[in-house]
Structure 1
Amino acid sequence: MELIRNKSYGGERPLFASRDLRLENVVILPGESALKECSNIEAVSCEFQGKYPFWHVDGFRVENCTFREGARAALWYSRRLVMKDTRVEAPKMFREMEDLTLENVVIPDAQETLWHCKGARLKNVEVANADYLFMYSSDISIEDYRQQGNYSFQYCRNVEIRNAVIHSKDAFWGTEDVTVYNSEIHGEYLGWHSRRLRLVNCRISGTQPLCYATDLVMENCTMDADCDLAFECSTLQATICSRITSVKNPRSGSIKAEGYGEIIIDKNLKAPGDCVIS
């Protein structure tokens, strides 16, 4: 493997189509597409300032690096990434990617990040300003995760999340086969139009949660006092270890809770309308 150490590169495509290359303490200055169409790349203790440095890359490892704001859209159309101990300050990262691992990564501006990705594994990752995170992605595994940002995980498939704190309005809309364990989810309109969403040992807050959901499962969850008008038009099996402020027109299944402030069943109840509430 060729080693490049303590150098800087700017302009357009300075390392285009490189193979078997290790970068140490390298600075990619403002410019475009520094490592486009590359394979088997290692970047250690590097700084990326220019746009689009890793596009169409097959097999690369990024450790102890920094992506500055100017390195926006840095990793697109690539596969087989391992990123560790890295700070990503640029928005719109990780698009149309396959087989990526992020560990000990901080993304303070995660707006429109991780779109159309398949096979993503995140461990000890923290994101902020994360509006529209994980749009249309699939086969995702997440552990020890912190998030601030709205409209996350929309239209995702096959997701497993453990030990997370998620602050997100409109999280998990239109998802299929998502399971969340031992986590906190805070935000309005959680899980609308989802299919087979499963929440285990989770704390939920925010108005009108889990409406229009199909085959929703909740096991040993708690719901804060602001969780009103829950489960409208949903089919579900729910065991809630707290009082629920209000439930409105669940379609079918069962809900068991410690108590209810209000149960609303009105003329807008949809068939079969046979949910057992106890």
Structure 2
Amino acid sequence: MTKRMIKNASYEGERPLFASRHLRLEDVIIYPGESALKECSDIEAVRCEFRGKYPFWHNDGLLVEHCLFREGARAAIWYSRNLHMKDTRVEAPKMFRDMDGMVLENVVLTDALECCWHCRNAKLRGVQAEHGDYLFMHGENIDVDGFRLNGNYSFQYCRNVVIRNAEIHSKDAFWNTEDVTVYDSVVDGEYLGWHSRNLRLVNCRISGTQALCYAENLVLENCTLGEDADLCFEYSSVHAEIKGRVHSVKNPRSGRIVAEEYGDIILDEHCKAPANCSIETGKAQSGEAA
């Protein structure tokens, strides 16, 4: 269907383009106001700038390209479906909430606080997120490649996540997750992966104190642990093949750990049943991405 075109215009106030259909915006500025494009469908926004809050709520079918979301455009895209955003800069916090069907390509989020909560069926390519505390809470079916994150408590309570070629600096990442796999990445942060189920790390470099505790069916393939990754695997069921040295292991519950060298191995009366984890010295096998 042919779209109605709006070019080189500006809007302000409350709901100036409410319930629009089949609309293309080019070089448009949305000044401070509220809910500029609420309840819309089949919208394209190209080279636009958003300064007012809540511009896209309850939308279906949204293309955002070469746009800028200023700090005032907080909580910009919520309760929407079928978003494709590319080559865009987001300076506003609390972006994306309760989304279904979301593709982000070459997107920079400079204040990613509380972004991407309750988002489903998301694909991220070349995304950078700064100040990203609580990124992707309760997400599901997430596919990530070429990703950089600075921000704590990321991906908590997520399910069915695949991450490749990432650099994640995040305390308490992957808590209470289920079916998460991370390939060829740097994962840096305290208390990684606690209370997770089916967390798999392949060809990753891991750092941060008390990593990978209280985990169920934890798998590490060809991973490297930094010297600050101490007191690892407490009360976890784990199958791990680790390159190099493990600074310290504490009371793994079950499974098998193979590393080239160990610092401290702590097995005391507090270890939980079945308390039969095999801790071995040897070389890790190279992990391969599925």
Aligning the two structures, in what range does the TM-score lie when normalised by the shorter sequence? over 0.9
State the superposition RMSD in angstroms.
Answer: 0.3
Hey, what's the Cα distance between the residues in 1 that align with 2:176 and 2:201? 15
**TM-score, normalisation: structure 1:** 1.00
Hey, what's the Cα distance between the residues in 2 that align with 1:51 and 1:230? 44
Find the counterpart in structure 2 of residue 15 from structure 1.
Answer: 17
Counterpart AA for 1:248: K
Find the counterpart in structure 2 of residue 190 from structure 1.
Answer: 192
Counterpart AA for 2:149: Q
Find the counterpart in structure 2 of residue 133 from structure 1.
Answer: 135
What are the within-5 Å matches in structure 2 for residues 21-32 of structure 1? Answer: 21-32=23-34
Find the counterpart in structure 1 of residue 41 from structure 2.
Answer: 39
Find the counterpart in structure 2 of residue 114 from structure 1.
Answer: 116
Find the counterpart in structure 2 of residue 272 from structure 1.
Answer: 274
Which deviations, in whole Å up to 9, do the C-alpha atoms of 1:106-158 show, x marking residues without a partner?
A: 00100000000000100000000000100001000000000000000000000
What are the within-5 Å matches in structure 2 for residues 138-157 of structure 1? Answer: 138-157=140-159
Shift of 1:44: 0.1
Find the counterpart in structure 1 of residue 68 from structure 2.
Answer: 66
Counterpart AA for 1:237: H
Hey, what's the Cα distance between the residues in 1 that align with 2:99 and 2:169? 25
Find the counterpart in structure 2 of residue 245 from structure 1.
Answer: 247
Say whether residues 1:164 and 2:166 are aligned partners: yes
Find the counterpart in structure 2 of residue 54 from structure 1.
Answer: 56
Find the counterpart in structure 2 of residue 102 from structure 1.
Answer: 104
Hey, what's the Cα distance between the residues in 1 that align with 2:91 and 2:145? 21
Find the partner of 1:209 among 203, 208, 211: 211
Shift of 1:242: 1.4
For the residue of structure 2 that corresponds to 1:69, the secondary structure is coil
Shift of 1:30: 0.3
For the residue of structure 2 that corresponds to 1:241, the secondary structure is strand
For the residue of structure 1 that corresponds to 2:72, the secondary structure is helix
For the residue of structure 2 that corresponds to 1:112, the secondary structure is coil
**TM-score, normalisation: structure 2:** 0.96
Q: How many residues align?
A: 278
Find the counterpart in structure 2 of residue 123 from structure 1.
Answer: 125
Find the partner of 1:88 among 87, 90, 97: 90
Find the counterpart in structure 2 of residue 230 from structure 1.
Answer: 232
Counterpart AA for 2:180: V
Shift of 1:5: 0.0
Counterpart AA for 1:3: M
Hey, what's the Cα distance between the residues in 1 that align with 2:225 and 2:47? 44
